Amino acid sequence: MKISLPDSLAELKELLQHLDQFLLDKALEYMRKCYKAILEDVDEAISEHRSDNQKIEHRREVWYQTCLGPIRIKRRQYRDEKSQRRCLLDDVMGMDRYCHTTVKVQELALEMASFMPYRRSAEVLHKTSAIDLPHQTIWRMVGKVSEPYLKKEEQELKWFMETGKIPRGYGKQVSRLLVEADGVILSLQREKERRTEVKLGIAYEGWEKVGKDRYRTVNKTVYTAVAGRDNFWSGLNLKLQKTYDLARVKDTIVGGDGAGWIKEGASYVNGRFQLDRYHLNKELCFAFGRDNQTKVKVWQACERGEIENSLAIMAEAMKKAKGEQSLRMARAYRYIQENSSGIGDYRLSLGEEGKTLRHTGVIEGNIDKLIVRRMKNQGMSWTVKGLRQLLCVRFLILEKKLAEWIAIKNQPQIRGEIAIPKKKVRRIVSRLSIQEPDEWIKAKLPALYGPHASRSWVKNLKSLSQVAVL
């Protein structure tokens, strides 16, 4: 791409509007040349310092997907004593055999895919950077990164459930732990079932004030799984065991909407159930509608843990109700009966009502932000395998563990096989960083320094060749 001299103000405007992209393209083109030269020099160094059992088979070109754009790299392929083929440069770069993308590109693509659909992720990356990946490549990348992590988690969970042994963790001691759980139903495709439930659990130590009437949880731990009750609570328990000394936690409060698997799960963490006030208020509002006076009486009785009193108030109101409202009150009546063990405000028994502790209920916002916004609505449906893989990558990113896990996943491939001297690596990089600029930068005008340098036309030419800095 070349810049032609503009003949009008309109052409100048058009030129300036695209000037930033032109300069960026030129800079990226130059950096791609540097990148290619560095990697091919490193490949040369690898061939000189490889182990004796690595025999060079051939040298071929392959496209590397980088933050600078696609770059065609010529590198060697080796065959070891077991007749297995490997490209050592790919191993050093942390690349899979059939996915030649740099670690940074993997991080960017996976983070984008964790917040928006795969096709949209590829489009945004292409429009905002030099990265050009098909959406199918990003989809496969999610599977390749998540599968080893999921396999590792399954092995740990199986060992924990079979042996009951507590894994070695930090052993953090806290006096109180609040645990909340909820589930969301997602649509499935190419599965026997049409829907499945994704369970989400969070644990935190309390709240801290961050503004007027605004609080946030302290040291939040998050766990999600597409699993049954036993596997989910065992997995959450295992994750908490890695951080806390649960045997020394004095009070564990388990909050939820009253679902059976949540109430039964309180025993897995040695806690007691607390019905979320969000769901209790929702049921009472649905039952009583505009009858705020009766609703407040029932609410206050529930807060004090006076179950019989709250049911009596509701029974009296049901006698006067008719039609659909009577049915709604009967539903709320059964809801309070079924969740009577968790109705009373847990803070009353601790003597801290109105002090540092607040009602449970933060799970609603978490399940919306962490699962629903990415995986529900928008016409989405999933396979169970794809759902687990994306959840795994999404939570690795939210916990800021993705880069660390990619490094761990790639590390065993290159351990103990390549040993390039540090001085040689430094010479490669330093030589390329101080290389001479292109020929067009070094061009000179002999007339400016010849015998006619004092003439007016030469002076005008000299002024045109200089760049004024304002």
Evaluate whether 185 touches 367 at the Cβ level (below 8 Å).
no
Side chain identity at residue 400, one-letter code: K
Q: How confident is the model at residue 213, as a pLDDT?
A: 80
* Structure-token pair, residue 195: 């829907």
- 343-384 pLDDT per residue, tens: 988 888 776 655 567 888 899 999 999 999 999 977 899 999
Which of 25-29, 208-212, 334-338, 432-436 comes out lowest in average pLDDT? 432-436
pLDDT band at 416 (very low <50, low <70, confident <90, very high): very low
* Structure-token pair, residue 423: 């001085």
Backbone phi and psi for residue 338, each to the nearest 5 degrees, phi listed first = -70, -25
**DSSP three-state, residue 58:** strand
Query: How far is it, in rounded angstroms, from Cα 470 to Cα 114?
Result: 46
Average pLDDT over residues 331-336: 94
Backbone phi and psi for residue 101, each to the nearest 5 degrees, phi listed first = -120, 140
pLDDT band at 146 (very low <50, low <70, confident <90, very high): very high
Average pLDDT over residues 109-134: 93
Is 457 a residue whose pLDDT tops 60?
Answer: yes
Q: How confident is the model at residue 117, as a pLDDT?
A: 94
Closest by Cα among 257, 293, 299 to 281? 299
Which of 53-57, 314-318, 425-429, 432-436 comes out lowest in average pLDDT? 432-436
Q: Which residue has the tokens 């490949």?
A: 43
Count Cα neighbours of 234 within 13 Å in the Cβ-side half-sphere. Answer: 19
- Averaged pLDDT of the chain: 86
pLDDT band at 143 (very low <50, low <70, confident <90, very high): very high
Closest by Cα among 141, 135, 167 to 243? 167
Is 329 a residue whose pLDDT tops 90?
Answer: yes
Is 434 a residue whose pLDDT tops 80?
Answer: no
Q: In 10 A of CB 418, how many CB atoms? A: 16
Type and span of the H or E element at 204: strand 195-204
Q: How confident is the model at residue 3, as a pLDDT?
A: 59
Where are the alpha helices (H) located in 321-421, listed in sequence order? Answer: 323-338, 346-350, 363-367, 373-375, 384-398, 402-414
Is 175 a residue whose pLDDT tops 60?
Answer: yes
Q: How confident is the model at residue 294, as a pLDDT?
A: 92
pLDDT band at 70 (very low <50, low <70, confident <90, very high): very high
- 263-295 pLDDT per residue, tens: 999 988 889 999 999 999 999 999 998 889 999
Q: How confident is the model at residue 469, as a pLDDT?
A: 37
Closest by Cα among 65, 131, 135 to 95? 65
DSSP string of 295-310? HHHHHHHHHTT-HHHH
Is 426 a residue whose pLDDT tops 80?
Answer: no
Percent of the chain with pLDDT over 90: 50
Query: How far is it, in rounded angstroms, from Cα 39 to Cα 71?
Result: 11
Question: Angle, to 10 degrees, between the axis of helix 402-414 and the axis of helix 135-163?
Answer: 90
What is the DSSP-derived secondary structure letter of residue 268?
G
Evaluate whether 420 touches 46 at the Cβ level (below 8 Å).
yes
Average pLDDT over residues 86-102: 85
Query: How far is it, in rounded angstroms, from Cα 460 to Cα 454?
Result: 10
Is 315 a residue whose pLDDT tops 90?
Answer: yes
Average pLDDT over residues 305-330: 91
Evaluate whether 89 touches 428 at the Cβ level (below 8 Å).
no
pLDDT band at 432 (very low <50, low <70, confident <90, very high): low
pLDDT band at 201 (very low <50, low <70, confident <90, very high): very high
Percent of the chain with pLDDT over 70: 88
* Structure-token pair, residue 299: 């609410």
Is 232 a residue whose pLDDT tops 70?
Answer: yes
* Structure-token pair, residue 448: 């400016």
* Structure-token pair, residue 238: 């295992």
Average pLDDT over residues 320-324: 87
Query: How far is it, in rounded angstroms, from Cα 72 to Cα 31?
Result: 13
Average pLDDT over residues 5-18: 76
Evaluate whether 395 touches 222 at the Cβ level (below 8 Å).
yes
